[in-house]
A and B are shown apart, each in its own frame.
Chain A
């Protein structure tokens, strides 16, 4: 038996192709939305991977350092280094801000790390150009997405930094590229006040008799000095020794240091379930709406195409065509339209995904699910047209 649907599609291919392209662009948007979500999850995982940590030690009762702010003294890491199973521990700060680059600002996550070689917790894992930060001040390693070049000078707060290294895929959970600077610089940047504010604070402190006591000449200077420096970090990143599990290293730190400790699995759960949960729901809503719109479009198109063939369907029924053959023809056309749409949509999404400002990760498994969902939508959408076709009275072919 010949394929009636296939012949009809070949006969009016222009109509099907153009309709399929329109549908395909919609499917392309749907696949891209899924890719945006996957990109967000992947950015979160990249953030955890790139930190090189097995444990994140943060302020007690916080979800820091990515989902909530967290503040620890910068000497806490010394105590952690002495805990069983800890191989390395390093302070880290995170601050999302605008980094000045020539005449433009680049939104970045500035990461304060202890200068050292690769493998240290917090350090960029690998470089694609240049070197790691080796000096204590005013050097930076940037992700290529910042578009910074080696040797260029960038401004963070009031200080100028030289880009000495470039890395790749180092992004925050929201996809902002990272700029690594020395920890001391980052601590200063986090709390750096403008000159007027500093003068105002010094004046207030001097006016306070508690700090400016007659006969205690060094007290005021000590208080002012303590107000101008920042001894806080956001987290301590810990690498564990081989043979230890993250849980057994985390528990003593949690108990004896009275700090919050997250393992990699817990941190991933925090990022995905809490940090990007709302965005995921938002994207999920879009996906549902796009699916409904796609179904409505396919249903409308197939219904219209079927109504245009009522007389032919009446003749087919009159000459003895089975209902299931006619239903199959309409369903195959809907599925054919869906296939054209999927191919166009996949090509479109793959083509435009690299141009998105944030990472869009098109997973084959999403494409497979998208294809399956589209086929289901097409089959369901054809039901209306099939119903109309099956209602056609074969007597209509005879007229009268």
Chain B
């Protein structure tokens, strides 16, 4: 039986060649199940961002194997011809800063991805509004990004990451600019969405406030990952209002 989440085996990444070569990843192994949120924790320079970029198909690993759901995307070379399409349809990104498109309103920021995938505008906007309602920001649907608070912007960026129903979400320090309350709210939302949409979520973080919420944590140091069980406090899954329709 195929593993349905994210599976990484022996992933390596080397920058440069010869004497100046640097091994950023030295054989990373990870598994994240659908609906699971795991933390990826490590000091600066440990390889977190390199791992995220490899997973996000924006840089090519040097060796190893990666699969998303049933699809092997990398096995000693990319197995997918169109990485742009892979990123659009299979991977959701949540960044440290929300990086919303400043000239699109909230609805179109979220609807842009399905539109890029060829979904008709009205259908894409309907999907976007449903997600915004689930994330409690539907009342700001017509607002421009500059009119939103930091927390609202981050929720909109989560909606954008989820709108194409990707099997994987990669979140890069999503709570860094937020206070404790808002940071925990964001993690709660990611947990609920992961549960609702059966999405595997990897959260790269330094944030001490949220680390205790993960049930599983991958530590990365010098390009190697070590798995450990988290405190596993987590969150109660699926609030009523997020219940799958």
Contact A395 B58 (CB under 8 A): yes
With an 8 A cutoff between CB atoms, is B136 at the interface?
no
Contact of B116 among A8, A311, A325, A398 (CB under 8 A): A325
With an 8 A cutoff between CB atoms, is A12 at the interface?
yes
With an 8 A cutoff between CB atoms, is B113 at the interface?
yes
Contact B172 A2 (CB under 8 A): no
Asked whether A315 and B96 contact (CB < 8 A) given A7-B108, A322-B116, A399-B172, the answer is: no
Asked whether A398 and B115 contact (CB < 8 A) given A318-B87, A319-B87, the answer is: no
Contact A319 B93 (CB under 8 A): yes
Give A12's nearest chain B residue, CB to CB. B103
Contact of A397 among B89, B95, B103, B160 (CB under 8 A): B95
Give B88's nearest chain A residue, CB to CB. A320
In the bound assembly, the distance between CA atoms of A320 and B112 in angstroms comes to 10
Q: What residues on B are CB-neighbors of A1 within 8 Å? A: 115-116, 121
Give A9's nearest chain B residue, CB to CB. B103
Residue among A1, A11, A319, A395 having the largest count of chain B Cβ atoms under 10 Å: A319
Contact A8 B103 (CB under 8 A): yes
Q: What residues on B are CB-neighbors of A11 within 8 Å? A: 102-103, 144
Chain A residues 30-88 with CB under 8 Å of chain B are: none
In the bound assembly, the distance between CA atoms of A12 and B102 in angstroms comes to 10
Contact A399 B49 (CB under 8 A): yes
Contact B102 A312 (CB under 8 A): yes
Against B, the Cβ 8 Å flags (1 = close, 0 = not) of A358-400 are 0000000000000000000000000000000000011101111
Expressed in whole angstroms, the minimum distance between the Cβ of B71 and any Cβ of chain A is 16
Expressed in whole angstroms, the minimum distance between the Cβ of B11 and any Cβ of chain A is 16
Contact of A319 among B116, B121, B144 (CB under 8 A): B116
Asked whether A320 and B85 contact (CB < 8 A) given A2-B121, A8-B103, A399-B96, the answer is: yes
Q: How many A-B residue pairs have CB under 8 A?
A: 81
Contact A398 B85 (CB under 8 A): no
With an 8 A cutoff between CB atoms, is A106 at the interface?
no
In this complex, how many residues of chain A approach chain B with their Cβ under 8 Å: the count is: 26
Chain B residues 99-133 with CB under 8 Å of chain A are: 99, 101-104, 108, 112-113, 115-117, 121
With an 8 A cutoff between CB atoms, is A247 at the interface?
no
With an 8 A cutoff between CB atoms, is A10 at the interface?
yes
Contact of B112 among A2, A8, A394 (CB under 8 A): A2
Against A, the Cβ 8 Å flags (1 = close, 0 = not) of B32-57 are 00000000000000001110110010
Expressed in whole angstroms, the minimum distance between the Cβ of A25 and any Cβ of chain B is 26
Q: What residues on A are CB-neighbors of B95 within 8 Å? A: 315, 397-399
Contact B53 A7 (CB under 8 A): no
Expressed in whole angstroms, the minimum distance between the Cβ of B158 and any Cβ of chain A is 13
Asked whether A395 and B116 contact (CB < 8 A) given A11-B103, A318-B87, the answer is: no
Contact B113 A318 (CB under 8 A): no
Residue among B52, B93, B103 having the largest count of chain A Cβ atoms under 10 Å: B103
With an 8 A cutoff between CB atoms, is B30 at the interface?
no
Expressed in whole angstroms, the minimum distance between the Cβ of A40 and any Cβ of chain B is 46
In the bound assembly, the distance between CA atoms of A312 and B100 in angstroms comes to 7
Contact B87 A398 (CB under 8 A): no
Q: What residues on B are CB-neighbors of A321 within 8 Å? A: 84, 88, 116
In the bound assembly, the distance between CA atoms of A88 and B116 in angstroms comes to 77
Q: What residues on B are CB-neighbors of A400 within 8 Å? A: 48-50, 52-53
Contact A322 B84 (CB under 8 A): yes
> Chain B interface secondary structure, helix, strand, loop or mixed?
helix
Q: What residues on A are CB-neighbors of B113 within 8 Å? A: 319-320
Give B51's nearest chain A residue, CB to CB. A400
Asked whether A319 and B49 contact (CB < 8 A) given A312-B99, A312-B101, A398-B56, the answer is: no
Q: What residues on B are CB-neighbors of A220 within 8 Å? A: none
Q: What residues on B are CB-neighbors of A312 within 8 Å? A: 99, 101-102
Contact A398 B89 (CB under 8 A): no
Chain A residues 307-345 with CB under 8 Å of chain B are: 311-312, 315-322, 325
Q: What residues on A are CB-neighbors of B85 within 8 Å? A: 320
Chain B residues 144-188 with CB under 8 Å of chain A are: 144, 160, 172
Give B144's nearest chain A residue, CB to CB. A11
Contact of A318 among B56, B89, B104, B117 (CB under 8 A): B56
Contact of B115 among A2, A8, A318, A395 (CB under 8 A): A2
In the bound assembly, the distance between CA atoms of A397 and B88 in angstroms comes to 14
Expressed in whole angstroms, the minimum distance between the Cβ of B109 and any Cβ of chain A is 10
With an 8 A cutoff between CB atoms, is B59 at the interface?
yes
Contact A398 B53 (CB under 8 A): yes
Q: What residues on B are CB-neighbors of A318 within 8 Å? A: 56, 58, 87, 93
In the bound assembly, the distance between CA atoms of A394 and B83 in angstroms comes to 11
Expressed in whole angstroms, the minimum distance between the Cβ of A8 and any Cβ of chain B is 4
Expressed in whole angstroms, the minimum distance between the Cβ of A382 and any Cβ of chain B is 17
In the bound assembly, the distance between CA atoms of A318 and B104 in angstroms comes to 17
Q: What residues on B are CB-neighbors of A4 within 8 Å? A: 101, 103-104
In the bound assembly, the distance between CA atoms of A12 and B144 in angstroms comes to 12
Asked whether A320 and B84 contact (CB < 8 A) given A398-B49, A399-B95, A400-B53, the answer is: yes
Against B, the Cβ 8 Å flags (1 = close, 0 = not) of A5-26 are 0011011100000000000000
Asked whether A311 and B99 contact (CB < 8 A) given A2-B115, A11-B144, A400-B53, the answer is: yes
Expressed in whole angstroms, the minimum distance between the Cβ of A399 and any Cβ of chain B is 7
Query: What are 7 A-B residue pairs whose CB atoms fall within 8 Å in the complex?
Result: A7-B108, A12-B103, A312-B99, A318-B56, A319-B87, A320-B85, A398-B52
Further pairs besides A2-B115, A315-B95: 20, Cβ < 8 Å: A1-B116, A2-B108, A2-B112, A4-B103, A7-B104, A12-B103, A311-B99, A315-B99, A319-B113, A320-B87, A321-B88, A394-B58, A395-B56, A397-B93, A397-B95, A398-B49, A398-B56, A398-B93, A400-B49, A400-B50
